[in-house]
Structure 1
């Protein structure tokens, strides 16, 4: 059961957005939980959550007293324990959860923004041949030792498939789906840019952001429904590397009249 939560934090004085780097947000998140719960998040090879803080990538020079982090829980078995901790901190403890550059930060509110089930994602999926992804924050894949910064359909849907199968009771066969993607799904439009983003202490990662049109050249109702379900799931899971640090944030877009399709 994918669940999207909005976590609002309050600082005791204005803090530059540039101080809230991806690893810092990651650290603030883990500071919310006791060690045993943190291990549940940290141990699996496929992480059962994603975090997004797009403001850092857009307005790093901004100063703010409060900021909101989107948290997506991909494994519903974790939600009771997570919610217990989060709501206790917002309603009972009211104590700083982190200190960033001498600024104390407190969790003030937790709000559910979107809740669905894997069964619902699959049941509502339509066999659309075109999908429009807005990559809101830098997205990247790993090829060997290097960042790969192109929205290759195979890599996008392989990333989503791995996360889906890790947490969904409805398993999808990659042996059937991925060859279909490789042979039939192409990019029909692409407006992206790449940039290097600092993770922390000078370490950087290169990713792309922007709008990408994916088009299936062959109609296969069952496989297209699966791709559409995975695309909706992407709004919770994110795509590619470092989604637990804010990278790979995706929103689905609707096609507008006049949108060009030829690259």
Structure 2
């Protein structure tokens, strides 16, 4: 059983026949999750504004393989979502596509907890200068009833901080101006983005994909918080509908030299 609150598993998928899956299959695979987990827990999550997990599908170019990543943000989610997904049968059906999917490999990418992440980033000796956000699946932010399709630093950190403060069983960052202070202490270095809508239930959500680099200023406390939350993005995802396959994010960091 998987019991660490911050856990990421990765399933390598193979499809029978000529069918191909795109990133939007995340919404179909979300249905697989809902079918397998305890119905009472699924109903409970539907009443909550923020989900205690994220998941997305991406194509690993290096290994030429289709990968499905699922991450938990709490011990309960690790036990009730990741454990049954880890124990999926070797093959399962995607009913909407009428296709059989084979699990070719299962990997535990990361297992950690909030105390460890907090001590590593807030209490450790390393500080970071650049944060490279790689948005692997379409990412967007719901703001004022509409979707924002540019990776504004304030919206990124607002999304991450909301998840962190809700699910962390360690340090919380509850200063009312925390996001504003973070944004004041960083600036955009480079970006390479393209519009990439996400198909969901016969609608297309306007969104972006690509890379986005933030450069941190000299305030050491803000640098550490910014790096910690950037690391957390790999579990929580960024922006809207991360439980349905959007906002899948990986992050690279460069140390201050």
TM-score (norm. length: structure 1): 0.80
How do 1:75-154 residues align onto structure 2 when only pairs under 5 Å count?
75-82=74-81, 84-86=83-85, 88-90=87-89, 96=92, 98-105=94-101, 110-125=106-121, 126-154=126-154
How do 1:154-233 residues align onto structure 2 when only pairs under 5 Å count?
154-169=154-169, 170-201=171-202, 203-217=203-217, 219-233=218-232
- CA contact 1:137–1:249 (8 Å) conserved in 2: yes
Q: Deviations over 1:97-117 (max 9, x none)?
A: 542332244667643111111
Q: Deviations over 1:123-156 (max 9, x none)?
A: 2224323222122222111122321111111111
Q: Secondary structure in 1 aligned to 2:230? A: helix
Return closer, same or farther for 1:215/1:41 CA change in 2, 3 Å cut-off: same
Which of 2, 5, 26 in structure 1 is aligned with 2:30? 26
Separation in 1, partners of 2:224, 2:23 = 42
Q: Secondary structure in 1 aligned to 2:51? A: coil
Separation in 2, partners of 1:181, 1:135 = 20
Return closer, same or farther for 1:82/1:224 CA change in 2, 3 Å cut-off: same
How do 1:41-80 residues align onto structure 2 when only pairs under 5 Å count?
41-55=45-59, 67-80=66-79
Question: Structure 2: any 5+ residue segments left out of the alignment?
Answer: none
- CA contact 1:21–1:199 (8 Å) conserved in 2: no
Equivalent in the alignment of 1:63? none
After superposition, the CA RMSD in angstroms is: 2.9
Q: Secondary structure in 2 aligned to 1:142? A: strand
Which of 16, 37, 40 in structure 1 is aligned with 2:41? 37
Separation in 1, partners of 2:254, 2:236 = 22
Separation in 1, partners of 2:86, 2:211 = 36
Q: Secondary structure in 1 aligned to 2:42? A: helix
TM-score (norm. length: structure 2): 0.82
- CA contact 2:182–2:222 (8 Å) conserved in 1: no
Larger radius of gyration between Structure 1 and Structure 2: 1
- CA contact 1:160–1:234 (8 Å) conserved in 2: yes
- CA contact 1:127–1:222 (8 Å) conserved in 2: no
Question: Structure 1: any 5+ residue segments left out of the alignment?
Answer: 59-65, 257-263
Higher helix share: 1
Give the number of equivalent residue pairs: 244
